[in-house]
Structures are given as C-alpha cells and as structure tokens.
Amino acid sequence: MRVLVTGHRGYIGTLLTPMLAEQGYDVVGLDTRLYDDCLIGADAPEIPTYEVDVRDVERDQLEGFDAIVHLAGLCNDPLGDLNPEITYDINHRGSARLARLAREAGVGRFLFSSSCSLYGAAGDTPIDESAPFNPVTPYGRSKGLAERDIAALASDDFSPTFLRNATAYGVSPRLRGDLVLNNLVGLAFNTGEVLIRSDGSPWRPLVHVEDIARAFVAALEAPREALHAKPFNVGITAENYQVRQVGDIVERVVPGSRVVYAAGGGPDARNYRVSCDAFPRAAPDFRPKWDVESGARELLDAFRSHDLSFDDLNGSRLMRIRHVLELIDSGELDQTLRRRHPGRPAALT
C-alpha cells in the first residue's frame, strides 16, 4: 500500500514514517521542513518527499496513493493564535482542499490528524465522539471546521476518518517542550519545581506520541467500513487526568521536585474528559503501550541523557511558537507562514 504522510518531519511524523516502513508500507512524505533542525536525537531515515506547502499541493502529486495520513499544520494554541486567519487557511481550508484533491486523484482513504481540543470547554463529565464541538481557540475551531468539510466529501470511493488525538507526551527525535507533561518534566528536572500555571483543575486526556503513531498504523490496517467517515478519540480512557494529578505524578517521578502553583492561575477554559473506547473496537490492532507515569520516566531519562537545559526547554528547538517566530524574523517564512525560498522543487525528491 502506497501512503502519503503530510507533516512527516514533525513530532509525530518522525516516529510514524519508520513505523509504516517497517510494516511494509511504501511511504512518501510531504513537508515544508519547518522543524528540520529541531532534533534531540537521530532523525528518521529520509524518504521520498514533496517539499511543498500543504496549501499549494496539486492533484497530480496525489495520484497513485492508496491513503493519505494528514498531519501537516499548525499544531497548538500558541501557534494558532499567532494569526487566526492563517491558522484557518492551513488547518481548515488547506486540509479540506487536500482532501478534495485526494478524492479527485482517486485516493481511497484519508486519515485526518484531528484533536480532542475541538471539544474545548466540555466540563468534567466524560464525553464520547457524539459530543458537540465547543472549541475555545482558533486551533480547536480549525480542527472542527476541517472535519465538517472533509466529512462532506465521503463517498463510496473516498473514506475520510478523523483521529481526534488526545494531548501527546513522550520522546520523539523532534521532541516538543510545549506539551503539558513534557513541559512539567523538563521544568521539574531543571528547576526542581513542577510549575502549574492554572489552578490544576482542568481535565485532559493524555496519550504517548508513539501510541498516536500506532493508532494511524492500526487505522490503515482496519477494514475501511469500520472507519468510514467516522471520528474517533485516540488515547486511553483511563488516561484522563486533571492537570494537578499530572503534577503529582511528575513530582513522584523527578527526584527532589515539588509541585508549585503560579500566582493568579485560574481555571483553564479548555477542559475535556473523553472516552477512547470506540477506536480499539473499530481498529483492533491498536494496542497502546504507555501511561503517563512510564512516559514521565522516559522523558526524565531523555532530559538527562540529552542534557536539555531550562533554556533548551524554552528555546526554539523545543517550542514550536518560538521556532516559527525565528523563521519569520530571519525572513525564511513570510507573514502567511509560507517559505520564501522553498529548499527544493515541488517534485518528488
């Protein structure tokens, strides 16, 4: 099976493409390589790649693929807030356009990397995929709008599926420091303080980045009818935590650290607690391997072995927003977040 993975050089994609290759998939990437130098370890092996902005893809570039895994985009609230119109341009309209071209090119399956953040302010009661969208940020809204428009393209020959990932944690060669568990372990390791910026009450489902990658592989392996035009929360139902519980786990795992609440931290509007039971029923190959405690230990080992300092944690290698601002300042990205000088032609390299 020939699969195109967009955003394959990010936090998730760097783990996913070798996993797909190992399973025997013929994998091609598509990425503008925003974070190519944001590595803490060995990179994934290079694969044939379209170095093109997802907003500028052409239909003939999508011909011959059996499936597309669509990861490319702005990946969190701080980036989404930078310029909300650009966020909608990339995450919503860019994704819907990619799906439409994929359908026209005869691609049978389209796996969209959505997010539980589209549930937004959902309260403390556990919800499943039938819950209404209540996003509180442009990032969350962009994912819901993309789902709506892509779902409308479903047909006998085109099966979109929406993997609403929980908040990721864990080690990838392109580690992110802007995810709650990664950040708290990094802070605890460097300062001895597990600094919580809210009052600790918000609920979040958490999932290891490697298990997200496993979910995409399991979705490709699952029968098409089981996933056709459906959304699935991706995570583990037992792995919903209040942020204060995450802090307590980090305190336990990082020797000598203690939880500290930032002055003035109130409740966070983003608050959702989700059931993840539907996905493993539809995609029985999905067997997640991690929980928050084992993930915190893995992260601590990584901070130690890569000697990641407080400045590293807050710098542009690990913080997506910082890196993008640097690329704008240096003139490599224009204000629409397009590369000014694409590195290579848009043909497969």
Ligand X SMILES: NC(=O)c1ccc[n+]([C@@H]2O[C@H](COP(=O)([O-])OP(=O)(O)OC[C@H]3O[C@@H](n4cnc5c(N)ncnc54)[C@H](O)[C@@H]3O)[C@@H](O)[C@H]2O)c1
> Among residue numbers 1 through 60, which ones bind ligand X (CB under 6 A)?
7, 9-13, 31-35, 53-55
Compare residues 115 and 137 and give the one whose CB is closer to ligand X. Answer: 115
Q: Which residue is nearest to ligand X (CB)?
A: 10
- Least gap, CB of 156 to ligand X (angstroms): 27
> Among residue numbers 140 through 179, which ones bind ligand X (CB under 6 A)?
165, 167-168, 174, 176, 179
Q: Does 137 bind ligand X (CB under 6 A)?
A: no
CA distance 164 to 177: 21
Positive or negative, the CA dihedral 165, 125, 292, 308 is positive
Element (H, E) at 232: strand 230-234
- Least gap, CB of 73 to ligand X (angstroms): 4
Q: Does 288 bind ligand X (CB under 6 A)?
A: no
CA distance 94 to 91: 6
CA distance 240 to 274: 7
| Alpha helices (runs of H) in 167-208, residue ranges in sequence order | 180-191
- Least gap, CB of 297 to ligand X (angstroms): 19
Compare residues 9 and 214 and give the one whose CB is closer to ligand X. Answer: 9
Q: Does 320 bind ligand X (CB under 6 A)?
A: yes
Count of positions on this chain that bind ligand X (CB under 6 A)? 28
Instruction: Kindly tell me which residue out of 62, 69, 71, 249 binds ligand X, with binding defined by CB under 6 A.
Output: 71
Give rounded-to-5 percent helix, strand, coil for the chain: 40, 20, 40
Contact (Cβ atoms closer than 8 angstroms) between residue 162 and residue 214? no
> Among residue numbers 87 through 106, which ones bind ligand X (CB under 6 A)?
90
Which segments of 76-214 are extended strands (E)?
A: 109-115, 159-165, 167-169, 193-196, 203-208
Residues forming contacts to ligand X in the complex (CB under 6 A) are 7, 9-13, 31-35, 53-55, 71-73, 75, 90, 113, 115, 165, 167-168, 174, 176, 179, 320
